[in-house]
Structure 1
Amino acid sequence: MDGLLRSSRARRLRARASRAALVAVIGLVGLVASPGTASAAGTYTVEPVLNCYKENSNKSWTVVVGYVNASSSTVTIPRGADNQAAPSKFASLPPTSFEPGTVNGAFTTTVSQADLNAGARWVLDGFTLDYRAAAGASRVCPASTELPEEGNGTGPAIGLVAAGVVGAALVHRARKRALAAAGRDDA
């Protein structure tokens, strides 16, 4: 009977060891397979770059901004001290997930002259991209570069309202004609 107890105890210990090894392997695979995150220890892997810029008629600049991720995997850097755009009105523009390699045109924005004078910039993973300072080493965007239209973003809304008004007028006119034609048929 003593041999039976030892063998069942040994089986339980082997089962526990097997489960622990399986959990360790799954954890290791999870760490290796998951996208990387920026290291707080000072290992910088993602650097912002000014792809090009265009000076607009009102002296603002439209800037096309990208990045270079030197690591071989996607790096996630949440918005905060290691991923922030200034002034704060640009805070939502920068991405938080960075594919490996060079990515051009990660975001585009129009920066006013006041913003440029205040040091408009993107701080990413220990690097600071000051748009005005970087313009000296960057190039003016070629004419073929797709840039956002200048304006305040109300163009699509105005277009929809205008289309609604024209549509309503056409429906009203068609209804009026149909009623007039129905009146003639009754007579």
Structure 2
Amino acid sequence: MDRRSSTVRRMRTRATRAALVALIVVAGLLALPGTASATGTVVPLLDCVVTNRDGSWTAVFGYRNTASSPVRIPAGPRNKVTPVTYGAPQPITFQPGTHRGAFTVTVSRGAGPMWHLDGTNLAARLRSATACPPSTQMPAEGNGTGTAIALMAAGLVGAMVVQRARRRAPAGLGGA
């Protein structure tokens, strides 16, 4: 019985280590700072603005990536929307080419938002922007980080399940 419990203990230790390594790898990939490609640039675009019935207005932003591959610029000093009251609706992964309607910002009153992207600052102003045609399809809500957050949460839940399984193992199988 001693030999069996020792084997079970080793297997549990290996499984726990594997789960922790997987969690660390996922967290590391999500936390990696993105870098712009040296052979291309990413610039913000103001596609158009929509005047809403309640007096507010919505700025529709897009971008142009001249690199031949996707560029990741996480939300932060090189990719932010100001004032901060608008949150962080902007994308963090920029596919090659020109992409219209990447995200929107609705302004209730006052000055419009400014998108600071990789060294370029683009201000949205109601009176100086092109009005969106009535057929303009607004982009979906979100900035693409939902999948990353879900993966991180799944990793944490997995680590907790492994830990709980270790605690509940019968004493004859090497448990506490």
What TM-score results when the alignment is normalised by the length of structure 1? 0.51
Cα distance in 1, alignment partners of residues 40 and 107 from structure 2: 27
Residue pairs, 1:9-20, within 5 angstroms: none
1:36-60 alpha-carbon deviations (Å, 9 max, x no partner): 7226x9x871110011111223332
Deviation at 1:93, TM superposition (A): 0.1
Aligned mate of 2:136, from 122, 140, 145: 145
Deviation at 1:147, TM superposition (A): 3.6
Unaligned runs of 5+ in 1: 1-35, 149-187
Structure with the larger helix share:
1
Aligned mate of 2:77, from 74, 81, 91: 81
Cα distance in 2, alignment partners of residues 45 and 125 from structure 1: 8
What TM-score results when the alignment is normalised by the length of structure 2? 0.54
Identity of aligned residues (%): 48
The answer on whether the counterparts of 2:59 and 2:104 sit within 8 Å (CA) in structure 1 is yes
The answer on whether the counterparts of 1:67 and 1:106 sit within 8 Å (CA) in structure 2 is yes
Unaligned runs of 5+ in 2: 1-33, 140-176
The answer on whether the counterparts of 1:46 and 1:70 sit within 8 Å (CA) in structure 2 is yes
Aligned partner of residue 85 in structure 2, secondary structure: helix
Query: In structure 1, what residue type is equivalent to 2:43?
Result: E
Deviation at 1:139, TM superposition (A): 1.7
Q: How many residue pairs align between the two structures?
A: 106
Deviation at 1:94, TM superposition (A): 0.4
Structure with higher RCO (Cα < 8 A, 6+ apart): 2
1:70-110 alpha-carbon deviations (Å, 9 max, x no partner): 11110010111100001213232001100000011110221
Query: In structure 1, what residue type is equivalent to 2:86?
Result: F
* Runs of 4 or more consecutive aligned structure 1 residues displaced over 4 Å after TM superposition: none
Does residue 1:60 correspond to 2:56, yes or no?
A: yes
Deviation at 1:62, TM superposition (A): 1.0
Task: Tell me the equivalent position of 1:38.
Answer: 36
Query: In structure 1, what residue type is equivalent to 2:106?
Result: T
Task: Tell me the equivalent position of 1:93.
Answer: 89
RMSD: 2.4
Cα distance in 1, alignment partners of residues 51 and 125 from structure 2: 11
Cα distance in 1, alignment partners of residues 52 and 89 from structure 2: 20
Residue pairs, 1:103-114, within 5 angstroms: 103-114=99-110
Task: Tell me the equivalent position of 2:155.
Answer: none
Query: In structure 1, what residue type is equivalent to 2:136?
Result: T
The answer on whether the counterparts of 1:44 and 1:126 sit within 8 Å (CA) in structure 2 is no
1:104-151 alpha-carbon deviations (Å, 9 max, x no partner): 11102211222x2xx521100101110018x62x42111111248xxx
Aligned partner of residue 115 in structure 2, secondary structure: strand
Taking structure 1 as reference, are residues 130 and 44 closer, same or farther at Cα in structure 2, changes over 3 Å only? farther
Aligned partner of residue 89 in structure 1, secondary structure: helix
